[in-house]
Chains A and B, each alone.
Chain A
Amino acid sequence: SSGGGGGNSGKHAGTDKYTGSVTVGTKEDSTGPAPEIEGAKKGGNIIGIGPSDFSHLDPQRIYYAWNSTVANLYIRALTGYKIASDGSMKLVGDLATDTGTMADEGKTWTFTLKDGLKWDDGSELTVEDVRHGIERAFATFTTEGAMYVQSALVGSSDFRSKYKGPFSNKHLDSIVTDKAKKTITLKLKVARPDLNFTLAMHSYGAVPVGHDTKEKYDKDPVSAGPYKIAQHAIDKSMKLVRNPHWDPKTDAIRNAYPDSFTFQFGTEGLAAADRLIAQSGDDQYAVMAYSGVPAERLQKVLTDPELKKRTINGLLSGLYYYAINCKRITDPKVRQALNYAWPLEQIRRIYGGQSAGDYATSIISPDILGYDHQDVYGKAKKPQGDPEKAKALLKEAGKVGQKIVYTYPKGGNDAYEKTKVVIVNALKAAGFDPVVKAVDQGSYYDQVQQIDNNFDVMWFGWSPDWPTGYTVMQPLFDGATIANGSNNVSQLNVSWVNDAIKKNAVITDPKAAGAAWEELDKKIMTELAPIIPETFQRRFYLYGSKVGGALFDPLFSGFIMYKLHVKA
């Protein structure tokens, strides 16, 4: 609290090891119950503090990670990730007995349901419910969820024109269920060797056919997990209590120690951090639900041993980067120059220094299968930027004084107001003519995802939906996806890239696939430089001193709610 900071402390305060090395588990691994956590006892209430309410509770409308932190407590899909206390992940069967059986080079997938699965009203969870969850994703109101499975099932990204969803009492022919055998078979139009990963997304969680209230389901979903929603004041608070019909023996993933969870919304990161630093009253039982300790509090939290003890941290699964609009900046040399010029060090310093994360030097992030350190532009050595090299490249391209319109979302994260300053300085030093054009965060994505936008460099971020290269490369660089609203904001449309994506996508061996994606990464960065990778951000979360079992979720980058417990 007193003025001044004190000298440079040297190393960052996070763990050094990347946590997210994922493997595919066996049937054994998929059998419940989940391993007990040492010293954990049942009972109590855990409080989750967050800036805003979960945007969706309906499984088919859940996509974003923060929704998934709570979805984990009541939604179950065919597969899921079993996370060990060291942070390593295993893909296991959740509703299914294992991670499924692939046939037909990845075009046919079959899963068998476990016994004893029940909804929170005691009725049985059947294969029909699982199918319903997938078919529901075609409905007109489930626009927010993932689309991989739908596209794969009908073989078109405009899948709603092929199938209107289950409410017209028609089922997809491409899904075959067998109630007696408890099996469900998906027959895809295109090969998807990693469909078992895809199906772990909450977007494909099961929904009871008999209790589907369509749009209204979003407010009051039925639980298949250990907790169910008891009370929900939108944007203010939500309370989850035990689901008595959840049987731990059917669940290899989840523990369920607290009797209840209470989420309190409307507390921004800074205030939440302050609350947990003070931890008065019930705040001892609180965790920062999904927004971490902001840059401004890192020093306080990490330099105070008592506070530091109450943190967890980990790298975000995603990549923060700056997309270069290849339609406007057509010369790869200029894009390379931008990569050289970018002041990664200054930016990270604003984010809070070394503790805030690692410099990103590639497209694929460390959590992804097959990650291999690579650094085309030598950013690890010269993170502050290399204006000379950049200038030389610019000169070569004959584009000295090139105007660069840089944009970022205004109003969300104040750090971007600061990073823009160092970016402008760096660009100027490298011989560019930077123009800053902030866009109100409410319409930011809308605007940068317009094909004919007027931005050259756009702040952007991407989290893969499951930890394989496909979920990074395909959405970001597949030329076929270019359209208004597409995530290929670089608007990269290069045939060899498109081909490589297609080819890599069907490699069934995870190891080989990983290597192939890595290679593509390197090639894209070297030859095309459509983006400027910025950081693999590290996030710190505070929790109250009475909270036990705090563990960083490598997938959703928050607390693993179902592993928390109240300390005596």
Chain B
Amino acid sequence: MTPPTPSQATPLEVTDEDSAASAKPATLKGTESRSPGRLAWTRFKRDRTGVISAFVVIFFFVAGICAPLIAKVYGKDPYTTYGQNDPSLLNDFSYPAGPNGGMSGDFWFGIDPQLGRDVFTFLLYAIRNSLLISAATTLLVAFFGVVIGLTAGYLGGKTDYFVGRIIDILLAFPQTLFFIGFWPVMLTILVSPDEATPTWLIVVSLITVMTAFGWAPIARLLRGEVLALREREFVEAAKVTGASPARIIFKELLPNLWTPILIQATLALPAYVTIEAGLAFLGVGLSDPTPDWGVMVQNASKFYQGDITYMLFPGVTMVIFVVAFNLLGDSVRDALDPKAGR
């Protein structure tokens, strides 16, 4: 029969002979089995680009997580206005007085124009904040997308229709406009008028709104996957044995959706990094003095003509991170889904 000839599986097959012949080693072999996840992992390890980009990505995350520690060792913080405190650091136009954006032994990456803050620690914290926001958003988006998509897909009928329409509306809604038009307003409602808007609230609401829009495409995708999976015979097998819908969704379907979920997540994270930075660039989202990639790029976009160094650090690190993450995502996809050739 021509179609089902999966050559990959063949070498793994357990033949009855070897088990019958050698009972002892089989016991050992019986326990160490090659789950689909492990197989993907082995495939991944073979992919050099993937591994290198994984290291780059990990490096960024470590840098972000350890930012306070590094800052402590380095002896600076991202908030002190060194240039303002020590007038010799900034020239009369508030540009760093030293060459190359004021890079020196004291300020490894220089200081920023106008306020004269330390770019190195600012960048570290920017990475930290950006990654925090995008990672949290990715997790939430994946979570809601999965739960809603799975439920709608599995239950079908009215639920599915209703969810489908909500998704339609969300996808048709111009999101950037929403952000610049309504998000700041919603923030003001949440905060008492004589209190400063706490940064955590900005972050939380930013994540919330990005999640509110972000789950829709994932849910739609997973709904489609579930519709296909639902027809697979192993789901019927579970039903025949009397499994509850919850069990079918979470024990039977969900494990089979890890691949698309992971793929979506690897696509989403760098996307959120850039979306979040884009929003900050437009002046919504995080803003000075909260360190953030987008904030830095936005600042730098005004000074690059006089101080390209300042553009260099956030711009280049961001591009490196996004490229590395995209490469990593590609490798993860290849490993999980070797047929989808790339």
Hey, which bits of chain A sit against chain B, CB under 8 A? Answer: 1-10, 12, 270, 274, 277, 294-300, 302-303, 346, 349-350, 352-355, 403, 405, 410-411, 414-415, 417-418, 421-422, 425, 435-440, 453-455
Contact = CB atoms under 8 A, between A and B. Distances in A.
Contacts of B265: none
Contacts of A418: 114-115, 288
B307 A3 contact: yes
Contacts of B289: 417, 421
A270 B309 CA distance: 19
Interface stretch (B130-138, B143-151, B193-201, B255-263): B193-201
A438 B188 CA distance: 9
B224 interface: no
B61 to A, nearest CB: 28
A206 to B, nearest CB: 40
A318 to B, nearest CB: 23
B90 interface: yes
B88 to A, nearest CB: 8
Interface in B293-311: 298-299, 302-303, 305-309
B97 A5 contact: yes
Given A4-B101, A8-B91, A8-B92, 20 more contacts: A1-B306, A1-B308, A3-B100, A3-B101, A4-B95, A6-B97, A9-B92, A296-B306, A299-B95, A346-B81, A349-B84, A350-B114, A352-B94, A353-B93, A421-B289, A435-B196, A436-B196, A437-B196, A437-B197, A438-B197
A422 B302 CA distance: 20
Contacts of B288: 417-418, 421
Given A2-B308, A422-B84, A354 B114 contact: no
B240 interface: no
Contact of A455 (B92, B185, B194, B303): B194
B179 to A, nearest CB: 13
Which among A12, A277, A298 has the highest number of chain B CB atoms within 10 Å?
A298
B287 interface: yes
Contacts of B102: 4
Nearest to B288: A417
Contacts of A453: 193
Nearest to B90: A349
Interface in B101-130: 101-102, 113-115
Contact of A299 (B93, B98, B100, B298): B93
B245 interface: no
A353 B308 contact: no
Nearest to A299: B93
Which 3 residue pairs across A and B have the least CB separation, nearest first? A5-B95, A4-B99, A299-B93
A453 B306 CA distance: 41
Given A6-B97, A299-B91, A349 B305 contact: no
Contact of B115 (A295, A350, A353, A410): A350
Interface string B35-51: 00000000000000000
A277 B93 CA distance: 18
Interface in B72-95: 81, 84, 90-95
6 contacts: A5-B307, A299-B95, A303-B93, A350-B114, A421-B81, A422-B115
A353 B288 CA distance: 20
A405 B194 contact: yes
B262 to A, nearest CB: 38
Contacts of A415: 114
A354 B196 contact: no
Contacts of A349: 84, 90, 94, 114
A4 B305 contact: no
B184 interface: yes
Contacts of B287: 410, 417
B278 interface: no
A3 B91 contact: no
A418 B97 CA distance: 18
Nearest to B180: A411
B214 interface: no
B194 A300 contact: no
B91 A6 contact: yes
Contacts of A296: 113, 302-303, 305-306
A274 B306 CA distance: 12
Interface string B231-269: 000000000000000000000000000000000000000
B217 interface: no
A303 B185 CA distance: 41
A435 B302 contact: no
B97 A8 contact: yes
A145 B92 CA distance: 40
A437 B193 contact: yes
A455 to B, nearest CB: 7
Contacts of A298: 93
Contacts of B97: 5-8
Given A296-B113, A421-B81, A3 B92 contact: no
B64 interface: no
Contacts of A277: 305
Nearest to B187: A440
A421 B113 CA distance: 13
Given A296-B306, A350-B114, A440-B185, A454 B95 contact: no
A10 B92 contact: yes
Nearest to A10: B92
Interface string B159-192: 0000000000000000000000000110010000
A9 B115 CA distance: 18
A440 B188 contact: yes
Contacts of A421: 81, 115, 288-289
A467 B92 CA distance: 31
A425 B81 contact: yes
Contacts of A411: 283
Which among B93, B97, B303, B305 has the highest number of chain A CB atoms within 10 Å?
B93
